[in-house]
């Protein structure tokens, strides 16, 4: 799989210091950062980069098809540079960790003509949800421990 920086070079995309910083932040596998997270990391590379530049760069990269916008459960948009390897996503319901996954049987998934309602289907997005290993290992305060009733104080609030 070609990385984002390599794909952008092949495209002849004008690589300013700010654009390079955004692309470098997005490099790697299982990268699904929000615009604010990208800005925070880009500032470490190019201190003068503005939030507007990050948003404009992300918009341009999405329009070019070089990154995907993923919006899990109505939360903040996340940006995925993995556009060359068809995949779906697995999200932790507690911490929001997002991973790329390749479910079995996806290639055979189709929508019958009667269920398309005149749409031309251009893609499929499947979001698997669960708890990641780190969140499962944390003790859930609402489960696994008994909730004890606090003793009632006599008098106050008692109708006896």
**Residue 89: half-sphere exposure toward Cβ, Cα within 13 Å:** 23
Its domain, for residue 127, covers 86-136
Phi, psi angle pair for 15, to nearest 5°: -100, 85
Residues 4, 70, single domain; the answer is: yes
Residues 44, 104, single domain; the answer is: no
Q: Within the chain, which residues score under 70 in pLDDT?
A: 1, 139-160
Integer angstrom CA distances of residue 51 from 47, 92, 100: 11, 27, 27
State the total domains in the chain. Answer: 2
pLDDT at 156: 40
pLDDT at 159: 40
Q: Which residues are 53's β-sheet partners?
A: none
pLDDT in tens, 43-72: 999 999 999 999 999 999 999 999 999 998
Residues 11, 78, single domain; the answer is: yes
**Tokens describing residue 142:** 């609402």
């Amino acid at each position: 799989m070609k990385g984002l920086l390599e794909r952008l070079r092949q495209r002849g995309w004008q690589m300013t210091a700010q654009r390079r910083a955004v692309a470098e932040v997005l490099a790697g596998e299982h990268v699904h950062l929000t615009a604010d997270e990208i800005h925070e990391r880009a500032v470490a590379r190019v201190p003068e980069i503005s939030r507007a530049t990050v948003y404009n760069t992300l918009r341009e990269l999405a329009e070019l098809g070089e990154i995907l916008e993923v919006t899990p459960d109505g939360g903040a948009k996340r940006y995925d540079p993995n556009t060359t390897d068809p995949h779906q996503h697995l999200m932790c319901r507690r911490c929001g960790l997002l991973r790329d996954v390749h479910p079995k049987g996806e290639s055979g998934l189709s929508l019958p003509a009667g269920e398309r309602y005149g749409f031309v289907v251009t893609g499929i997005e499947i979001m698997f949800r669960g708890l990641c290993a780190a969140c499962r290992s944390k003790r859930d305060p609402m489960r696994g421990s008994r909730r004890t009733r606090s003793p009632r104080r006599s008098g106050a609030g008692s109708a006896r």
